Amino acid sequence: MDTSRESEPAPMTDRTTVERKSERELVVTRIFNGPARLVFEAWTKPELLKRWWAPKSFGVSFLSCEADVRAGGTYRFVYGHAASEQPMAFFGRYIEVIPNARFVWTNDEGGEGGAVTTVTFEEAGDETRVAMHDLYPSKEALDGAIASGSTGGCCESFEQLDELLVTRGAGGS
Amino acid sequence: MVQYTQTRFDASFAALSDATRRGVLEQLGRADASITDLASKFHMTLTGMKKHVGVLEQAGLVATEKVGRVRTCRLGSRRLEEEAAWIESYRQLWSARFDALDNIVEELKRKEKIDGHKQRK
């Protein structure tokens, strides 16, 4: 057994994976060091959720965070960003909630092209593997989300860059 | 990132400054085509068309693939590149979120331990 390797923590950036599983589907995974019920609690209690969902390093901060996590309940997250005067709102409703195992919500802020998100919590020993599936209604909807440049939390600066490039392109042709 | 984008942008710009190359892109927007097809469509020698396709390929606007003796051209890898860049920034967002979530799970574990001790007493 290679103990020297084991004692070194894996780089933070390698622990979260994102994969486009199919034309309509994105999957984000991560393993947490704790039981599923605690990870689930941190996803579903607004006072805990608001402490991690809007990462400071991305310059976003919560203005309000409402989440009524039960089937048929709704959520509404509003955050502000240093580079944008307009607050951003994300909202939808919970379709299915199985405590400590799985919950499903809609993303309605983008109209009909919004994904349905399913998060599963799988406990193994002291760890919990979380998988978050975003299923888009069509290939076009996911392509569109990617083309918009927005990842739903961080990308105003990319959008501004895109605008600059488009403007330059139009001016030069 | 900005530097890279700028360089790529200049390459695209140079590639698009030529009417034939713009025509090739338009053509490939309708269907993939071999270099031979393109050469005959634009009344050009194979060598001439290869040069144009090479410039478009450099700019990431066209991708080519050789199967047997035929080199097929299609619209560029640019979109794939953009998708890879988007997925990476999405991953960074979730990675930052999950790092913060890690701390909260740790906190909940500690709290549970303390509460558990209290209850047992």
pLDDT of residue A149: 67
Q: Residue A63: give its domain's CATH number.
A: 3.30.530.20
Are both B7 and B65 inside the same structural domain?
Answer: yes
Are both B19 and B69 inside the same structural domain?
Answer: yes
CB-neighbour burial class of residue B21 (10 A; exposed 0-12, middle 13-18, buried 19+): buried
Are both B27 and B48 inside the same structural domain?
Answer: yes
Q: List CB contacts of B69: < 8 A, sequence separation 6 or more.
A: none
pLDDT of residue A94: 97
Q: List CB contacts of A117: < 8 A, sequence separation 6 or more.
A: A104, A105, A106, A107, A132, A133, A134, A135
pLDDT in single tens digits along all 121 residues of chain B: 444 455 655 666 677 778 888 889 888 877 889 999 999 999 999 999 999 999 988 888 888 988 888 999 988 766 667 788 888 888 988 998 999 999 999 999 999 888 887 665 5
Are both B83 and B37 inside the same structural domain?
Answer: no
Give the integer Cα–Cα distance in Å for A58 and A48.
Answer: 18
pLDDT in single tens digits along all 173 residues of chain A: 444 444 444 444 468 999 989 889 999 999 999 999 999 999 999 999 988 988 777 777 888 999 999 999 999 998 887 766 778 788 999 999 999 999 999 999 877 888 999 999 999 999 999 999 999 998 888 887 877 666 765 433 344 444 444 444 444 33
Count the neighbouring beta carbons within 10 Å of the beta carbon of residue B53.
22
pLDDT of residue B89: 84
Count the neighbouring beta carbons within 10 Å of the beta carbon of residue B15.
23
Answer whether residue A120 is part of any domain.
Answer: yes
Are both B91 and B106 inside the same structural domain?
Answer: yes
- The ipTM of this complex is 0.77
Answer whether residue A138 is part of any domain.
Answer: yes
Nearest residue, CB atoms, B87 vs list A18, A30, A158: A18
CA-based nearest distance B69→chain A, Å: 31
Are both B63 and B18 inside the same structural domain?
Answer: yes
Total domain count for chain B? 2
Are both B61 and B82 inside the same structural domain?
Answer: no
pLDDT of residue A27: 95
Stated pTM of the model: 0.65
Are both B59 and B108 inside the same structural domain?
Answer: no
Domain range for residue A165? 13-172
Token pair 């955050």 in the structure block, residue? A79
Go through A23-44 and write b for each residue having 16 or more CB atoms within 10 A of its CB, e for each that does not: ebbbbbbbebebbbbbbbbbbb
Are both B23 and B57 inside the same structural domain?
Answer: yes
Answer whether residue A3 is part of any domain.
Answer: no
Are both B84 and B61 inside the same structural domain?
Answer: no
Are both B121 and B67 inside the same structural domain?
Answer: no
Are both B71 and B81 inside the same structural domain?
Answer: no
Report the Cα B33 to chain-centroid distance in Å. 21
Total domain count for chain A? 1
Q: Does A17 touch chain B (CB under 8 A)?
A: yes
Answer whether residue A87 is part of any domain.
Answer: yes
Q: List CB contacts of B116: < 8 A, sequence separation 6 or more.
A: none
Nearest residue, CB atoms, A48 vs list B89, B95, B104: B104
Token pair 């951003």 in the structure block, residue? A88
Domain range for residue B96? 77-121
Q: Which of B98, B103, B109, B110 to mutate to probe the A interface, most A CBs <10 Å?
A: B98
B65 and B22 Cβ atoms separated by less than 8 Å: no
pLDDT of residue A48: 93
